[in-house]
Amino acid sequence: MKHPPMAEPLTLLWLQSGGCGGCSLSLLNAEDPHLYDTLALSNIELLWHPSLSEAGAGDFIALLEAITGGRQRLDILCLEGSVMRGPGGSGRFHMLAGTGRPMMEWIRELAGLARYTVAIGSCAAFGGITAAGVNPGEAVGLQFDGARRGGLLAEDWRSPGGMTVINVAGCPVHPGWVTDTLGQLALGELDDQELDEFNRPRSYTDHLVHHGCPRNEYYEYKASAEKAGDQGCMMENLGCLGTQARADCNIRSWNGGGSCIKGGYACVNCTAPEFDTPAHAFLETPKVAGIPVGLPCDMPKAWFVALASLAKAATPERLRRNAVSEHSEVPPSSGGKGT
């Protein structure tokens, strides 16, 4: 079979700093096709990835020098993990091994050279878990500091290819969010219009985690779970933010069919800036006068309260009982047919 001539591949360099490596590991879960085929089919050449490449120390540092010296073209820089600025702005909480230089400085220099810079995961995008609480590492995102614009790179920073940092947020990312975004870049079809207000790809943030939620019927009738393992809706008591969280987790499957909610636990809104430090326990819904503080996206509070009380009054016995049970105690009725 004859293939059409390919354009020159896009070169990709992947670096890790203040994170857990979980986004890379999630990426290895890519299926049909697997990761290496996906990259090849998008015409992306992996120059180096810390977990996957053969080149160690010397060859890797030589590669960095070739990029900074202009001898190696860099199309896409992916950073996984936050930028570590501490202690006291020195960047010494992460010195890139073998170079005696803070990773923060390498990132700044390479981002100035790469056509596009992509933040992989909520840490690289916004600071994420590494920036939680007192933020001991002075961790920050590439172009955001939590929800505030301007991180390591200034608010008005643009890459040589004319884009802001592209924030593939998530903790971890779904492999498809990364490969779709890289694919869009390779096609030349990722522009400002395709990014949302936090510069996340709209390909997945135009959805809510609520979309496709398997507990939708419980949600409709406000039949709520009370403890871990219950089948009911987890919004009222167990801290679930699926009706506010911007991601397609229940449309796109994780690990062959899963999602957080399908795993029996709350969505913690991990694609959002500052998800990492809620003012309450993660798995408990904060309430005022018995009403959850966070309401579903775009829903007027008065309407929600009115609909919720109406729905509660109409909850079928089946849902009321099954909502607080690990297993279906009452099956759906056969609608008058049969006995």
Partner 1 sequence: MSRRIYGPFNRVEGDLEVQVEIDQGIITSAWVNSPLYRGFEQILHGRDPRDALVYTPRICGICSVSQSMAAARALAAAMGLEAPENGRLASNLVLACENLADHLTHFYLFFMPDFAHRSYAGRPWHAAISARFRAQEGKAAGEVLPARAAFMHLTGILAGKWPHTLSIQPGGSSRPVEPREKIRLLQIAGRFRHFLERTLFGGDALEDVAAIDTLQALETWAENHAGSDFGRFLLVARDLNLHRIGRACDHFLSYGAYQEGERHHFAPGIWMAGKRHPLEPGAIREDVTHSWMQARNGPSHPLEGITLPVADKPGAYSWCKAPRLDGHPMETGALARQLIDGHPLIRGLVAESGGNVRNRVVARVLELALLVPVMENWIRTLRPREPFCVHASLPDEAESAGLVEAARGALGHWMRIRNGRILNYQIVAPTTWNFSPRDADGVPGPLEQALRGLAVGNNGHDAIAIQHVVRSFDPCMVCTVH
Please report, as residue ranges, which positions from 164 to 203 form the binding site for partner 1 (by CB under 8 A): 171-172
| Span from 112-120, 126-134, 205-213, 331-339 in contact with partner 1 (CB under 8 A) | 126-134
The C-alpha R_g of the chain, in whole angstroms, comes to: 23
**Euclidean distance between CA atoms 161 and 268, whole angstroms:** 34
84 DSSP β-pair partners: 139
Q: With 0-12 CB in 10 A as exposed, 13-18 as middle and 19+ as buried, what is 321? A: middle
Distance of closest approach, residue 74 Cβ to partner 1, in angstroms: 18
**Euclidean distance between CA atoms 21 and 202, whole angstroms:** 24
Residue 280 to residues 112, 132, 261, 287, 294: CA-CA distances in angstroms?
A: 39, 13, 20, 10, 12
| Span from 19-27, 111-119, 150-158, 204-212 in contact with partner 1 (CB under 8 A) | 19-27
Distance of closest approach, residue 15 Cβ to partner 1, in angstroms: 10
Examine residue 51 and tell whether it contacts partner 1 (CB under 8 A): yes
Residue 257 tokens, joined: 């069919």
Q: Which is nearer to partner 1, 99 or 315 (by Cβ)?
A: 99
Question: Judged by CB under 8 A, which of 71, 89, 90, 306 binds partner 1?
Answer: 90
| Span from 33-41, 141-149, 201-209, 295-303 in contact with partner 1 (CB under 8 A) | 33-41
Question: Any idea of the CA torsion for 311, 312, 317, 321, to the nearest 10 degrees?
Answer: 120
* 49 and 79 Cβ atoms separated by less than 8 Å: no
Q: Regarding beta strands 148-149 and 144-145, do their DSSP bridges make them parallel or antiparallel, or are they unpaired?
A: antiparallel
| Span from 22-30, 203-211, 294-302, 303-311 in contact with partner 1 (CB under 8 A) | 22-30
Q: Which is nearer to partner 1, 71 or 227 (by Cβ)?
A: 227
Question: Judged by CB under 8 A, which of 89, 136, 162, 332 binds partner 1?
Answer: 136
Q: Which is nearer to partner 1, 92 or 149 (by Cβ)?
A: 92
Q: Number of residues in contact with partner 1, rule: CB under 8 A?
A: 82
Examine residue 211 and tell whether it contacts partner 1 (CB under 8 A): no
Examine residue 233 and tell whether it contacts partner 1 (CB under 8 A): no
